[in-house]
Each structure stands twice: as structure tokens, then as C-alpha cells.
Chain A
Amino acid sequence: MTDLLTPVLSANWGDEKSWDIAAYTASGGYAAIDKAFAMTPDEVTNLVKDAGLRGRGGAGFPTGMKWSFVPKDNPNPKYLVVNGDESEPGTCKDIPLLMASPHTLVEGMIIASYAIGCHTAFVYIRGEVLHVIRRMRHAVEQAYAAGHLGKNIHGSGYDLDIIVHAGAGAYICGEETALLDSLEGRRGQPRLRPPFPAVAGLYASPTVINNVESIASVPCIVANGAAWFSSMGTEKSKGMTIYSLSGHVARPGQFEAPLGITLRELLDLSGGIRAGHELKFWTPGGSSTPILTGEHLDVPLDYEGMASVGSMLGTKALQIFDETVSVVRTTLRWVEFYKHESCGKCTPCREGSWWLVQLLKKFEDGVAEEGDVDKLLDVCDNIGGKSFCALADGAVACVTSAVRHFRPEFEAGYHTPAYELFPYGRSALFEVAEGSHA
């Protein structure tokens, strides 16, 4: 069964002090840099294109193609910005990766920066995860000391500086243009596009923004070749990736496997749903991706497979909920998150999330009125696709998908509180006082 796993990024996570440069170098780390330097920048970009690497941050945009959008004739400096603002409920892949092997990212950044002609690269890390920021900073210091960063790296004549930037704890700063504003020292709110970051991003200069995992996947492609990488995965979703299982599974954690693995296979690997319970619903890639149910157990977890069932691969954060869980309560908690994280720039997200929380609370308390489900859906319709950025789309996706799959449970909110239908203590993985609604 475990041969379904393809540990590449996570291969060294179990090593002694895997985060230290000594361990990373001992396992072959930083060798891909020289291989890349032996190629022209365009050859590196083409290699990544040929490998079929797609963005691991959720949207799945081809990484090599993104790099090739950087205009060559622009006189401004070019920048690489790595998005490590991992904040979505359920998503937990970049933070473990950076904890276990920050040098993988550093190496990937060197290669990516070389490919796009950038000499200053930034990593923007979510502000709350101080330990990860420290570890990343330490890794960058080590890389400088070892001559992997700075001037004339490995005698190639290529210079690169990496700056590790700590965010201030805003989900919106994971949106790439808000991230740029935040990185520039402004308040993080999404920017109007066009101009796109590839043309006028950080400091109005050409900028490539990639997810941590996307960039961390670059060294292995350079080391092993495009064919090796694309031998994994499915036709349009190549390579391996990290699936993060959480919730009601026996052994939650990170599972690195080729794209296209199914939840059924992942559940087998993780010991299945916790003992004595059965799957009720799950998210394929964080709370912004529409929820799925037991009938989707065999759908390939790749970009196309998830789209075919009206969801998205997202960040491959599989949150698993068993039959003890109230979908109304879960949805409310998610929407509370979006309300709290809405940046406030645009009306539908700001006001809509404020309204949705109050509406959903009525369902949870069993005091919703006849017709409120339709009202809920209509409010979602007035939000979805009408906001400035995708944050609000994510906020309504969990609501509309929950109603699609579990409408009767919402209708029960016309008369019965969710905590009576699904006593909350039963879904907890720890002891909860009887009658607690939290």
C-alpha cells in the first residue's frame, strides 16, 4: 500500500536535523544549482515547462509559463516572491515543509530566480508562525555562509539575495497582489489587475509570485529531469504533491503522492476514518474548495478530477468530517473565518460575509425561518463572482456546496438547533463537557 507514496519533497523530513544545511547537503542538496547554472535561464524555464509543474498554491497555473511571462525588455529589476502566507483553514503543507526542509525552498528559489533573471527574491511567511520564520531565516543565513547566496554564487557570476519577510497575520495577504502591497509596507488589500504582477508587481516591477511548494518542487525537476517528474501524476496534472489529511482520520498528516491519487487510497494510507465512524463530507483543498462527500471517494485528486465534480484541488488540504459533524456548524465556522479575514475593500465580501454569519447562526440555533435556505443561496449568489478578489468566492463555495449536498440538514435549522441534531461533543477528538456548543 505504501508504494502509493512518492516522497520527494518529504524524503528527508525524517533525517536527523533535516532542516540543517549539513543534513540537506549530505542528502544531495544544493547540487541542482550547478546543474541549473550550466543551463541558460530560458532552458531552465523550458525544463520546468516540460515537466508540467503547476502551481501548488491552489489555482494550478503552469509554473514555467508564469516565469516566461516576465518581460525581458523591462528596465526595472525582476523579483521572485514566494508566497508562504499559508492561512486557509485546513491547509498545512508549506509550514511543515519549511519546518522540516527550508533549504529545499532556498535551493528552489535560487534556480527560479536564475531562470527569471532576478537578483532579489522574497519569501513572505505568515506572521503567526514565528518558529517557521526563524527556521527559514536561519536556513538563508546558512546558505549565505555556504556561498549558495550572495555574490557570484558557485563562481557562476550570478548574484542573489533572499529576504525573509514576516507577514502580520492576514489571510488576504495570501492573495498575491495583497501580498505585494503588504510586502511593500502597505496595508494588504488586493490590487486592481491589469497591470498583472508579471508586468508591474512588487515596486511596479516584473514579479513572479509562486507558492512555497511550487518553488520547492523545482530542484528535484532540475536534478532528475522533466521526464522523471512528468512520469508521476496524470495527463494534465504532473508530478507528486503533498496531501494534508486532517480531521476524523486515524492518522492525520502529510502524504506525498503523485497527483491523481484518490481519497479512498489516501484514507487507506492514513488508517481510514477514526474507528467506529464513517465519512460524511470532506474538502479537497482547504475551506475555499466546495465540499465533497462519500460518493467522491474515487475521483482523482488532481486539477481536472476535482473540477469534474464541481470542486477544486486547491491546496490539497483534505479535511475529513465524519457523521457526527453538523455541516451547518462547520459551514458557519468557516464563514466566520472569512468574515474575520475579509479585507473590507469590496462590498459583497465585506457586507456579505457579515450577513452570512448571522444567517448561518440562525440555522445553527434552529431559529431560521421557512425560506431562509433560498435566501442563504441568493445572498451567496449576490456575493459569488462579484467580489474584487477570490476570497469571497471561497467564502460562499463552502456554503453553496454544503447546501447542495446537505439541504435537509439546513432545513432542519428551521426548527432544531444543530447542537441537538449533532451534539458537538461527539465530533471532538478530546473530552468535551456535556452540552457544550462551542
Chain B
Amino acid sequence: MSVITKPGEAVAPVDTITVTIDGIEVQVPKGTLAIRAAEMIGIAIPRFCDHPLLDPVGACRQCLVEVPDMGNGRGMPKPQASCTLECAPGMKISTQVTSPAAAKAQEGMLEFLLVNHPLDCPICDKGGECPLQNQALSNGRGESRYEGVKRTFPKPVPISAEILLDRERCILCARCTRFSEQISGDPFIALVERGALQQVGKYADDPYNSYFSGNVIQICPVGALTSVSYRFQSRPFDLISTDSTCEHCAGGCSLRVDHRHFQVKRRLAGVNPEVNEEWNCDKGRFAFVSGRGEDRITRPLVRRDGVLKVASWPEAIDAAVAGLQAAGNSVGVLTGGRLTVENAYGYAKFARAVLGTNHIDFRSRPLSAEETGFLTSQIAGRTLGEGVTYGDLETAKQVVLVCFEPEEETGAVFLRLRKAVRKKGLKVTTIAPYASNGSAKLNATLVATAPGDEAAALAGIELDGDTVVLVGERAATAPGVLTAVVTATAKAGARYAWVPRRAGDRGAIEAGCLPTLLPGGRTVADSAARVDVAAAWGVDSLPAEPGLDAAAILEAAADGELAALVVAGLEPKDFANAVATREALEAAGFVISLENRLSEVTERADVVFPVALIEEHAGTFLNWEHRAGVVNTVIKQANNPMTDLRVLAALADALGKPLGVRTVAQAAAELAELGAWEGARPASADAAKAKPAKVKAGSYRLATWREMLDGGRGMDYEEALAATAKPAVARVSPTVATAAGLAEGDLVTVTTAAGSFSLPLEVAADMVDGTVWVPTNAPGMSLGEYGVLAGDAVQLDRGGVA
């Protein structure tokens, strides 16, 4: 494991001690384990149970070394497990390199491990990348002397819908069980039985449903844990690996993407100590097949006589150009939150320099003017060095979560917080309607708060210089919260970070996909900034009139005030009001959609351009820290679909106003050259007045957030993953349940102004009264369809919708 420090950060002085390993002196920080000290001088001691991110256990005994001197002149009588042996000053350690006894002990251990192992490497997924196989060859005996009967088990057994367990291959290193307990806090698997019959077990019929379960497959040192999706798909040596960055959320986890036959076969957590360490979530790992359905768009579509028909590229570009020319600058651009920085930059430049409008917004979700002001004045232009990082979450004494459920919304943040809670005594406080599972695993103090009251709740929490406030994108629906976060942290000397949900959100802000922002944090309102960008782009001027935000764009389109829309990948149901969004798309005179799958937008579009999937193009995502994550092209085919950027460049060319960039590299170079704005930053926007929802007697305030595994289309076709999702429920406090005569498990109906939906009831003991929580986007039930937001009044009745 390497020790990584942030650039520019002073390296704290560490107490070091000197030990001698195989005759080589090495200085190591106090508390270093012998196995790590050996790594530092390039000596690899074989190991199975040891994992640098898990607590030492010393179970497999593979890493035995001799200790001829403990540092006090006396040797240890028995060989020691180097994974649990802390270095002491002056200690002498002899590994297998210099100690025949250590080498024999290790050989013996490998022979034991193979006693009950089936040696089915030729049909095992792990064969070729298996630590047991590799170390048996590097550190084991050539042949086993075991001639007896092996232990057998029926196999494989599912431990969840996604993961299968082969108990015969298992060497009982307890990495998976320790991961589930220590890292993700979901101890739903444990070792059971004893002796050679010991095995990984789950509790009765309850599966190992954890958002992070896939990691146990990756850290399994044998082929005992396999995924339903990858099992028997490929041999490791037939795969081609590409480093990339996950596109599912703003966490920015590094990925290793393995493909074969021009198809991604699996994704693994990449090693990135500064971001995701060595973990990722199941959505990032398993949800990568949504672009393989029959709804994939591979050719342009043009609406003729009311029907979308396959068209040639020149035909589609002509149709798009005709539509755009007719619209002039009366165009709205909705980019969604899934674009790479380079693609987002393409849209931002296309809107300003080609269409001549500031009507551009990436937010395909509920938003507010307060949020626009906050993003413009506080977030845009912040660099990695200025903001909060994952590392800062570990060194903070207190983290306050506001409108943010890390486990559901940014898994890597959750894991880092949990690590800090376990290892560094971090105190987490959450302002939420109830303590979710994720909050419980963070041992968080709940400040039970009804939606809309978050700003007041924040005022009651003591902040200091060691506090970090993490505010989620849901704050847009809680008036006054964003402003309260800025002022409260400034006053207390605390720090805060805004954690959006989608991978492209942070990059879209820097690229200029907001009505108020040009690239690099330059504001539209600042004439100097406009001149700066116009000069760089080689255009006479940029539109100065303030643009409309996404909600206003849709409203204007519905009212016939906007003649055309250019829409990237987004879903109407994600907006505050899905019905109104669809109506706006239908009412708009002309809609261009850039998509990779047929969608509710393409259904309503006049021209549809196919664009590349994440694995088909390169680019950059900026995560919530504003850290750049590189996306590399995984599938390299000459006929890969075009990027959004390339399509926009083609349209610009046809419109006679060249975009100036057409490749990802060009866009990245131009954005880099443009650089960050060094001029004045806008003053912070005024706070929106918190207006507690007027809730009539018998009504409840709606609380909601998106769950990690939900009805999002990115998870499509990965049914095993979907089966591990949490069931959708409505949650209320015991008081509410009693008052309404409801019991846990009852089917209840939530009624909004726009209709009703039914869910089973769950009673949460710590739920704030007068509130009902439902998921934002469960499969088949999306709040956007009802046009309700957190804080809105809803009715709650017993029984299902007839």
C-alpha cells in the first residue's frame, strides 16, 4: 500500500523506527505491520487473509516469518504471522527469502490450503488471476502429498441474487465477512460451523443485500465468490482492462473495466487511495448493460409525417439545421447530469456561440433560484485544493449531513465516513426526517427534521473549525438551506461541500451548463468574463441577456415562448413535474435529442442523434470534490458512435458557425486554456425565505430521497442487481401510525394533488411526526409523475389504490 499525500499538503512528521528485514534496514512509521514493512523494500510475503484496508486477523497463517530478534536481543520461539506483527525498534525479521524455516512454513501452509480445495482452476472464474493459484506456484510445493478425501459441499449457493458462493473453493480467510462487517457495516454474512466444515453463511433466508456486496467478489483470494452476471463469461487472460471512472454518481470512483469481444464483461473497483480506496458500490460494479437492449439507437431518426424514421446523417443534420434556423436564438438546451466535462463544454459553447442563447441548464431535477445563485457564486470555479476532499472527511472531527444520505446518494462518501467513524472517532450528525440505515451505520446523531425545517435545524448545531458540512443536491427543494450552510460555516470557521448526485453535475457547472455561467466559473452577468470567453472562442460577442433555468425553459417551451429544445440524455420523470416536462417537450416547436437509447425524450423529438455509451468514448468527470476522473475509451471500434460533442460540432458546421472543437482532446485543451476565472466572483445570492409548508390537519409533509438502486434506467437489464434493491415502502413515525390506525406492513395510499400511489408501511421509531417518507424514484413509482417535492402536503390512507 502506498502512502499518498495531497499535492501541496505538508507531510506530517511521523515517528519512525528502524527494523531489519532479510538483512536490509528499513525505516517504517511506528505501528507498521511487518508484512507492510517488507513490501516497502520489495519483499512480497505471500498472504490471503491480510488486506491493508481490513483489520488484521492472522487467520490463514500464510505469511509466517521468523523473528530472530524482537528488538530486545531475544528471538520469538515460533514463526510469526507478519500480517499481525507490529514492527518494534531494532526488530530483525527473516522472511522466506532468507529463512528456510519461514519458507517451509509457507510451503506447508499452501499445501494445507489445497487439502480441501477442489483445484478446479480450469473452470474457475478466478483461474488466471487467483492469489491462491499464483502463490501456490510461487511459494508452494510443486506437488501435494495429500491423497485423502476432500470435503465437499453442494455448490454454488446464492448468498444474494447477485453473488454465488462456492464453499469448496473457499479458504476461509474471512476477507468477505470482515468487509461486510468492518467496511460497509452490513454483517449479513458470517463464518459458521467449525473445523474444515467452517463456511461462509448468511442468516436463515435473509440474503446478503448490501450496496457494496460486489467488493467481496473482488477481494476474495480464490474463486469462492462469483457474480451471477460475470460467472463463466470469460477467462481473466482473455480480458482487456481499461482504467476509467464511474458514471453513476458524483463520487468519482476509479474503475477497472474489463472487456472482450467488444463488450464490457465486468467492472471492478479501481485502486485510488484518494477517492474510493479499493472499493465501489454495486451500481458502479454491475450496472453497465443498460445500453445493450433493443432500445439502443444506432442511427439518426427524423420525424416525417409524425413518425420517427431512420435517416441518414446528412438527412438528420439537414432536418436539425432547418429546425434550429427557424428557431433562431429561441432555443433551450437541457443537458442532464450525465455528460463528461468535454461533452458538457460542447453544449455550453454550442448554446452561446452557435445558438446565441443562455437558456442552458444541466439540472434535470427539482431546482430553485436560490440553488442557481449558490452554484454560481459558491461552487463554480472552486478547485480541488480549495474544497473539501475525501481525505478531509477522515481528518474532520464532525461531519454534518444536510439533505444528504451518503449511502444512497454517494456510496464512496459513505464508505469514507464510515471508515473515519470506526478508525478516527468521527462524529456524524444528520439533519434528516429519520435515521436511515446508512445513518445508523455511521453511528450518526439524528436531528429529526421535517422537510423544509433543515435551515432552522442547522442553526441549532454547533459547528467549529473541525466541522465539515456536506449538503446534498436535495437542498434545492429546501428553501434557505444552501444559504444557511454558507453563512453558518463561514461564521464558525467550518467547511462545507456540495455533493450532487450525478457524475456530470460538477463538470457541467465548470463547463458552463447553467444559464448564469460560462466555462471556468465566469458569470454571464460579468461583461469582462463574457469578453474573455468571446475572445477565446473567436466570436464577436456572447449573449448578455440572463438565461432561463431548466424549469423556466420547460415552462417557456410549453407556453410557446421557446421555438426549439436541444436535449441530451435525461428522463422527464426526474424533473419536479414529469407530466409538465412531457407536455413541454410536446409543445416545443422543434426538439433535437442526443441519446443512446430510445426514451421519453426521443419519442417526442423531431430529430434524434445517436451518441456514444460511456465505454465508447473518452472524457473527464469532475466528482463532488472537483477532482478530475479520467474516462477512457474501453471499446475501441472504428465505427463507435459519435460523442455529443462531435454531433454538436457537425450541427454547428452545418449552421455555418463552427464549434471550433470536435474531439474530446480538443475540447479538453480549449477548456484548459480558457482556465479558471481570475476576476471577481459574484457575491452570494440572497437566501430564499424558508416557508414551512402549510399542512392542513390530516395531511403530512412529504420526505423523500433517491435510493441507490432505484428505478433509474442506468440499471436496466441487470436484474440480479435490481433484486438486491430495498423494497419501496412508505415510512411514518409510531405516533402517525397509531393516529391513523396503521401498522407495519399495511398497504397505504399516499395521495397527492395529481394522484395516488400505494406502498407497504414501515414504522420508523425516530421518524419526525407529521411526515411521511417515500422513495423518490422506485421502480414504477416516481414522484415526478405526481409533481410533488419534499415538504409538500400529502394525504395518507389505509389500503391500496383501487
Contacts and interface: CB of A to CB of B under 8 A. Distances in A.
A325 to B, nearest CB: 25
B61 A344 contact: no
Given A342-B195, A379-B145, A381-B108, 19 more contacts: A187-B191, A339-B196, A340-B195, A341-B194, A344-B193, A346-B59, A346-B61, A348-B108, A350-B198, A354-B148, A354-B151, A354-B195, A354-B196, A358-B149, A381-B104, A386-B61, A386-B79, A386-B108, A386-B109
Interface stretch (B110-118, B281-289, B340-348): B110-118
Contacts of B116: 351, 354
B131 to A, nearest CB: 14
Nearest 8 pairs of A and B residues by beta carbon: A382-B108, A344-B198, A358-B148, A351-B112, A385-B78, A342-B195, A351-B115, A354-B196
A350 B196 contact: yes
B195 A353 contact: yes
A386 to B, nearest CB: 5
B269 interface: no
Contacts of B84: 192
Given A355-B146, A386-B78, A388-B59, A347 B113 contact: yes
A355 to B, nearest CB: 5
A166 interface: no
Given A346-B60, A346-B61, A347-B171, A382 B195 contact: no
Interface in B180-204: 190-198
Contacts of B196: 339, 342, 344, 350-351, 353-354
B111 A382 contact: yes
25 contacts: A172-B194, A187-B190, A187-B192, A192-B56, A340-B195, A342-B195, A344-B195, A344-B196, A344-B197, A345-B172, A346-B58, A347-B109, A348-B108, A348-B112, A350-B112, A351-B113, A354-B116, A354-B148, A355-B115, A355-B146, A355-B148, A359-B148, A381-B108, A382-B105, A385-B79
B64 interface: yes
Contacts of B113: 347, 351
Interface residues of A, number: 31
A32 interface: no
Contacts of A351: 112-113, 115-116, 196
Nearest to B56: A192
Contacts of A385: 77-79
A48 B313 CA distance: 95
A192 B57 contact: yes
Interface string A327-362: 000000000000111111111101111110011000
Interface string B57-99: 1111110100000000000011100001000000000000000
Contacts of B198: 343-345, 350
Contacts of B148: 354-355, 358-359
A375 interface: yes
A6 interface: no
A356 to B, nearest CB: 10
Given A354-B115, A354-B151, A358-B148, A347 B60 contact: yes
Contacts of A345: 59, 172, 198
A117 B57 CA distance: 32
A222 interface: no
Contacts of B172: 344-345, 347, 350
A63 B242 CA distance: 61
B61 A342 contact: no
A383 B64 CA distance: 12
Contacts of B58: 192, 346, 388
A354 B56 CA distance: 25
A387 interface: yes
Most chain A CB inside 10 Å of its own CB: which residue of B107, B111, B112: B112
Interface in A372-426: 375, 379, 381-383, 385-388
Contacts of B146: 355
